[in-house]
Structures are given as structure tokens and as C-alpha cells.
Amino acid sequence: SQQGEEDPQALSIQEGENATMNCSYKTSINNLQWYRQNSGRGLVHLILIRSNEREKHSGRLRVTLDTSKKSSSLLITASRAADTASYFCATETGTYKYIFGTGTRLKVLA
Amino acid sequence: GAVVSQHPSRVICKSGTSVKIECRSLDFQATTMFWYRQFPKQSLMLMATSNEGSKATYEQGVEKDKFLINHASLTLSTLTVTSAHPEDSSFYICSAGQGTGANVLTFGAGSRLTVL
């Protein structure tokens, strides 16, 4: 399977703490994206990092990409209860064609 | 921003019946849409790529006769689960490229299918 792996599978933290999720993938990529999914809903795009970029920020989100290790990380700083969701990395293997990671279920406790 | 509407959000059907799920891009044209299947607490598995005006491209292991895809216009793709069985019960999600060159996918809200 080409599917990426994410760890941890589940993460529970207190509000205000930082949450870090990691993603490893198997193939060469054009870019890598992170998506968020609230329970029973569709996915929402969070951030895209291109293969020639190493780090990107968006608000409380920080994404890193290491193409030599085929890995990426998503850091959510100062987490809030509303950040509770599943987070997926997705690697583009063709135009708009993405393979999704196994996901990290984040629970932020108030 | 780009919006993808998916309907119905929930459907319950009897075993042996067929169910159609619609995916519409509301404010942009999508020559390509994607259909995924998601089991509880698992990731999205790409089922097929829906191409406007041509046949869908199915991923390995996905039965094209079981999951019929039609992409008749630039804003509508449909997935029909034919002769549904309980093992077809799942969460089905569609997505479309926004077409802005950023290669970002916009997702529908998903359709939960329960086959009795």
C-alpha cells in the first residue's frame, strides 16, 4: 500500500499545550498537505507545503517537511478544545490525486 | 471559497438495492472529482477518479461494476452503489480540485451509507 503512516494514532492533551503529529510517506511527492476532519464530516484543508520547502507557518500551525526522510510534522501550538479532530497528511502522486495517511485522532481537554 | 456539496448525508437502504450519491461543485467547475471510502476511525481510501465526459479510473481492488461513477457535467459526479450489501456500509466522501493551481482539494461533507 502507498498509504502514509502517521503517529501517534491518538493523542490526548490539555488545552494550551502543543500537539505534534508526524507523517511518513513512501513515494516521491510534488507537495504534501494536512487536512482536518471533524467526526463524521468531510475534510478541511489546513496547509500545503511544496517539495522544495522545508517549513511553513499558518496561524497556530507549523509544518515541516524532510524529503530525504520522507516525513512531515504538524505542530499545533496553544491548542484549544475546538482543535479536537482527526488530522491527516496527504501526498500528491498525480494532479489532485492524493494518498492519505492513517491519521492522528487529537483530543484536547478543556 | 470553493464549495462541494454532497447528497444525501445519510442513507439507509435494504440489501440488494442501489443507492446514488451526488457530488456537486457549487461555485467552480471540476473536470476531475475523487471518491473515497472511509471506515470508522480509519483513513480515506481512494476508490476512483471521476473524469468529466469520460470513464472513471478505478483504484486497484475497487469493483467498477459495484461502484458506478458518472461525471456527466463539469459540476456533478455521481457514485452509485449497486446491489448494496451490508459490507458496503461505510462513509463515502467526494472531493474536487479547486482549479486555482494550488492543487488543494475541497471535500464534500460525506455520505454515510447503512445497508440493512
User: Which residues does chain A have within 8 Å of residue B44's beta carbon, measured at their own beta carbons?
Assistant: 43, 88, 100
| Radius of gyration of chain A, Cα coordinates, nearest whole angstrom | 13
- Chain segment B1-29, per-residue pLDDT in tens: 788 999 999 999 999 999 999 999 998 88
- Greatest alpha-carbon span in chain A: 40
Average the pLDDT over A46-64 and give the result. Answer: 96
Picking from A24-28, A63-67, A90-94, which range would have the lowest pLDDT averaged per residue?
A: A90-94
In angstroms, the Cα distances linking A98 to B47, B80, B95, B113 are 11, 22, 10, 23
- CB of B3 within 8 Å of a chain A CB? The answer is no
* Structure confidence at residue B70 (pLDDT): 92
At B87 the three-state DSSP class reads helix
Structure-block grid coordinates of residue A71 = 516525513
B-chain residues within 8 Å CB-CB of A2?
A: none
Distance (Å, rounded) from C-alpha A11 to C-alpha B41? Answer: 13
Q: Catalogue the E-assigned strands of chain A.
A: 5-7, 10-14, 19-24, 31-37, 43-50, 55-58, 61-66, 71-76, 85-94, 97-100, 104-109
CA–CA dist A23, A87 (Å, integer): 10
Cell numbers 455520505: residue: B111
Nearest to A103 among B34, B43, B103 (CB): B43
The residue to which cell 464549495 is assigned: B3
pLDDT in tens, A99-109: 899 999 999 99
Chain B segment 13-32 residues within 8 A of A by beta carbon are 32
Residues 6 or more apart whose Cβ sits within 8 Å of residue A31:
A48, A49, A50, A51, A91, A92, B103
Higher pLDDT, A29 or A82: A82
The alpha-carbon gap from A16 to the nearest alpha carbon of chain B, in Å, equals 25
Task: With cut-offs at 50, 70 and 90, classify the pLDDT of residue A92.
Answer: confident
The tens-digit pLDDT sequence of chain B (116 residues) is 788 999 999 999 999 999 999 999 998 888 889 999 998 888 899 999 998 888 999 999 999 999 999 998 889 999 999 999 999 999 999 999 866 555 788 999 999 999 99
Which position has the higher pLDDT, A28 or B100?
Answer: A28
Q: What is the pLDDT of residue B100?
A: 59
**Residue A54 — very low, low, confident or very high, per pLDDT cuts 50/70/90?**
very high
Q: Is the pLDDT of residue A4 over 80?
A: no
Q: Enter the DSSP assignment of A33.
A: E
Cell numbers standing for residue A20? 505534534
